[in-house]
Chains A and B, each alone.
Chain A
Amino acid sequence: MELVEAIILAVLAASTPLLIAATGELVTERAGVLNLGVEGMMIVGAACGFAGAWLTGSIFIGALFGIVAGTAMSLIFALMALGLAVNQVATGLALTILGIGLSGLIGAGFVGERIKPAVDLYIPGLTDIPLVGRVLFGENAFVYCSIALIIGVWWFLYRTRAGLILRACGDNHVSAHALGYPVLRIRTFAVMFGGACAGLAGAYLPLAYTPFFIPGMTAGRGWIALALVVFSSWRPGRLVVGAYLFGAVTILQLHAQGWGVGIPSQFMSALPYLATVIVLVLLSRARTGGSTAPAALGTVFVPDR
């Protein structure tokens, strides 16, 4: 039983950054904007988050640093892709290249430093419940935050008027504009939310997952988050399933390496990336009846005046 508990805890820990980053990107894409810079925003969030925590000694302030950094990066994207109507694919790539460079620059002084990682929750009584106590009531704040975030996003998108307007911008920006909604402003907020989430997801890595910062520590998680949004068919519920499935694949390969299965470790490490490709193919194939993507995803909008 302890092994099962350990595996569930490990899967949750590996899935949380994917879930947070993908939740942000889901909102961005539902508003019709394809921001491929998630990896770049995440890695800057990781560097700034670690810097913040190391300088102040507070995980909370570190996470705030990460969020602010991610949001700042996303504003560059918004300025380019929304303000200047630049191709969103190219802008997103530029954001990732810039982010990797910036994070190296910011994080250079912190490589080799360690911090006290985020503590796990402990509620006397509840956390001690056998089987479920540790899993349900013994996580760190990031895990609860990620779950609150995705529930909040679901509620916002499907149960509020603002969410409906945001989805309208993503499906038909011309109509939304004709109805008098400020499409570009709404999209800017969606992009900023995506950036904040990516920054928080990045900050999670050095603050809770490993207590130190290394350059390139996001290792493609931003890209996997992007694939997860496709996997989820742009729906919050499926996003949770997808994120935990991918977390499970990551943990599976780590454990398989530990058990000394006769497969070279590099092949096991390639598993999450290969799984992403296979899942994308299978899903896209199953969806031949019609795309579930927001109709205006990735298209440039310059309001007619």
Chain B
Amino acid sequence: MQLVLEKRTERSNTIALVSPLIAIALTIVTMLILFAILGKNPLLALHAYFIAPLTDGYSLQEIAVKATPLVMIAIGLSLCYLANAWNIGAEGQFLIGAVAGGWIAVKTQGTDAGAWVLPAMLVLAAAAGALYALIPAICKVKFGASEILTSLMLVYVAELFLDYLVRGPWRDPHGFNFPTTAEFDPVATVPLLIEGGRLHLGSIIALLVVAATAILLGRTIKGFEIRVVGAAPRAARFGGFNANQLIILTFAVSGALAGLAGMIEVAGPIGHLQPGISPGYGFTAIIVAFLGRLNPIGILIAGLFLALTFIGGEQAQITMKIPLDVTKVFQGILLFYVLACDSLILYRFKLVFPNRQVARGTG
């Protein structure tokens, strides 16, 4: 007796709907086992991860703050993945965006520059992120170089470039030799939504991006082209859609969104440039994109959920001394389960009895 996959004649819509929930449930079961192995009370740990952050206002705001870059990056990545273009270097585009916009903030520091500073920073960050993402896209379209590898290599380059800037020319002279720029001026800072809170304007921008993308994908020809090129490349060719052009477009958009997210993160919650401005947002956003089924609304929900795991992970570290790496393990396992459950939309399991195969002479 053997368990094998069999292609479904039609994709299963029921499973498409419940598969993220099954994946989350399976992940939580796996995590309970992992907590037990680590010698922690599994139920208390689960509470620290998923319930405790939802019970106070500060943590709730913090979840929205963390979800903001995740959702923005993941929306861009989802466009790439829908068009079958594999941008995995969002982390680098995030950093380059922050650096480019941060340049304005550093240069206008202490001057009487007006309210144009923040908008200029955001625009420049988006442009720089897009340009940085265009490097792998053009290498792919013009030369056929794997965009997966080139976009990832550029992450390391961006990290080193940021490191150079904050240790070298942009280092705060009054910063006690710490590798950081001076705190940005108020005009170079993303305004808070609630006085004294954590929630900032960036979250509104992220919501606008979600809405705009939902319209783009659902209601416009461009959105249709993106979906067809990814889902049915042959049909797209017959339809006269230009796949290369779409690779360039989706990479540019996702780079711009990642760059914008980087700027908002730096000009918002962080307030200055330093190494390690991202705890791996660019990579976690890949999980967000898949968990959200590459759908804008799904990504919004998935982004909030993964932000919850970041906050929960921090709380669990403080209250229960659970290592922070558990959060990464959790995210990796979650992505595995999401992908595995998605497989069941197209395939189903079937029991095969070997004696039937022998009869056919293939055993």
Partner pick for B332 among A98, A219, A266, CB 8 A cutoff: A98
User: With A36-B148, A280-B150 as given contacts, are A97 and B332 in contact (CB-CB < 8 Å)?
Assistant: yes
Where chain B touches its partner, the secondary structure class is helix
Interface residues of B in 153-169 (CB under 8 A from A): 153-154, 156-157, 160-161, 163-164, 167-168
Q: Would you give the shortest CB distance from A10 to chain B, in whole angstroms? A: 21
A277 at the interface (CB under 8 A from B): yes
The stretch from A62-70, A87-95, A113-121, A145-153 touching chain B is A87-95
Do A220 and B143 contact each other (CB < 8 Å), given the known contacts A94-B335, A101-B327, A264-B168?
no
Q: How far apart sit A273 and B159, CA to CA, in the bound complex (Å)?
A: 11
Residue from A94, A269, A303 in contact with B336 in the complex, judged by beta carbons closer than 8 Å: A94
Counting CB contacts under 8 A, is A76 at the interface? yes
Give chain A's interface residue range (CB within 8 Å of chain B): 35 or more
User: Does B342 belong to the interface (CB within 8 Å)?
Assistant: yes
- Could you tell me which residues of chain B, from 98 to 150, have a CB within 8 Å of some CB in chain A? 135, 139, 142-146, 148-150
Chain A, Cβ-Cβ closest to B333: A98
Q: Across the interface, do A280 and B343 meet the contact criterion of CB distance under 8 Å?
A: no
What residues of A have a CB within 8 angstroms of the CB of B287 in the complex?
A: 94, 97
Instruction: Let me know if A46 is at the binding interface, CB within 8 A.
Output: no
CB distance from A266 to the nearest CB of B (A): 4
Which of B135, B139, B283, B328 has its CB near the most chain A CB atoms (within 10 A)?
A: B328
| A220→B153 contact, CB < 8 A | yes
Task: State which of A49-57, A156-164, A191-199, A284-292 sits at the interface with chain B.
Answer: A284-292
A72 at the interface (CB under 8 A from B): no
Q: Which residues 263-291 of B have a CB within 8 angstroms of A?
A: 283, 286-287, 290
- Give the tally of cross-chain contacts (CB within 8 A): 150
A273-B153 in contact given A267-B164, A305-B4 (Cβ < 8 Å): yes
- A98-B329, A277-B153 are contacts. A105–B145 as well, Cβ < 8 Å? no
B280 to chain A, nearest CB (A): 8
- Interface pair A105/B325, CB less than 8 Å apart: yes
* Contact across chains for B328 and A100 when beta carbons are under 8 A apart: yes
Q: Does A217 contact B (CB under 8 A)?
A: no
Chain A residue nearest to B164 in the complex (CB)? A266
Could you tell me if B156 and A220 are in contact, using CB atoms closer than 8 angstroms? yes
Contact B157 A101 (CB under 8 A): no
Q: At the interface, yes or no: A99 with Cβ under 8 Å from chain B?
A: yes
Interface bracket on B: 35 or more
B152 and chain A: residue at smallest CB distance: A223
A274 to B161, CA, bound (A): 12
B325-346 near A? 1/0 per residue, CB < 8 Å: 1111111110110011011001
Q: Which of B4, B286, B327, B343 has the most CB of A within 10 A?
A: B343
B40 to chain A, nearest CB (A): 13
Known: A100-B328, A101-B332. A87 touches B157 (CB 8 A): no
Q: A108 vs B244: C-alpha distance in the bound complex, in angstroms?
A: 45
| Minimal Cβ-Cβ distance residue in A for B136 | A277
| Docked CA distance A94–B340 (Å) | 11
| 13 further A-B pairs in the complex, CB-CB below 8 A; given A91-B336, A277-B135 | A80-B336, A86-B339, A90-B335, A90-B339, A223-B149, A223-B152, A266-B167, A270-B156, A274-B157, A280-B146, A282-B143, A305-B4, A305-B6
